């Protein structure tokens, strides 16, 4: 069941679409913020200077180049067996991705991370007094 608070926070974002290579190709090569949604829960918020490249990198990159790729990999790793790129892309492919172009990706990301506390964001900004 959709959460009205999340709907409000993501009002300016694109509609949800399955997180596939095709979806990543639809993103503009512009600065913005992106969210990954797993079963109506935002699990990651990212910011970038190029949405298209960053969304592709999360799917097909490596653990050193993408916090999201690394975090999902750790989730899928089993004793003695590291998750493959394909495993990670498959897990992400069952999630939705949404994005918003913005000239202030840092501020937008910070506000969303503070409000939503996504499981795959390593650093949660400190609330300002």
Region 4-116: CATH code? 3.40.1440.10
Which residues, 6 or more positions from 19, have their beta carbon under 8 angstroms from its beta carbon? Answer: 36, 55, 59, 92, 93, 95, 96, 97
- Which pTM was predicted? 0.90
What confidence tens digit (pLDDT) does each residue in 107-117 have?
999 999 999 99
- Examine the pLDDT at 129 and tell me if it is beyond 70: no
Binning pLDDT at 50, 70 and 90, where does residue 62 land?
confident
Average pLDDT over the chain, rounded to an integer: 91
Domain boundaries, the chain: 4-116
- Examine the pLDDT at 124 and tell me if it is beyond 70: no
CB 36 within 8 A of CB 24: no
Binning pLDDT at 50, 70 and 90, where does residue 18 land?
very high
Q: What is the pLDDT of residue 5?
A: 75
């Amino acid at each position: 069941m959709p959460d009205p608070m999340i709907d409000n926070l993501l009002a300016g974002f694109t509609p949800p679409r399955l997180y596939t290579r095709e979806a990543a190709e639809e993103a503009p090569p512009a600065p913005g913020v992106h969210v990954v949604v797993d079963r109506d829960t935002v699990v990651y918020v990212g910011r970038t200077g190029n949405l298209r490249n960053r969304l592709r990198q999360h799917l097909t990159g490596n653990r050193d180049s993408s916090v999201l790729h690394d975090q999902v990999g750790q989730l899928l790793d089993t004793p003695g067996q590291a998750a493959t790129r394909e495993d990670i892309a498959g897990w992400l492919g069952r999630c939705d991705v949404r994005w918003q172009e913005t000239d202030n990706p840092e501020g937008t990301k910070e506000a969303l991370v503070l409000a939503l506390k996504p499981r795959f964001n390593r650093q949660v900004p400190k609330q300002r007094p």
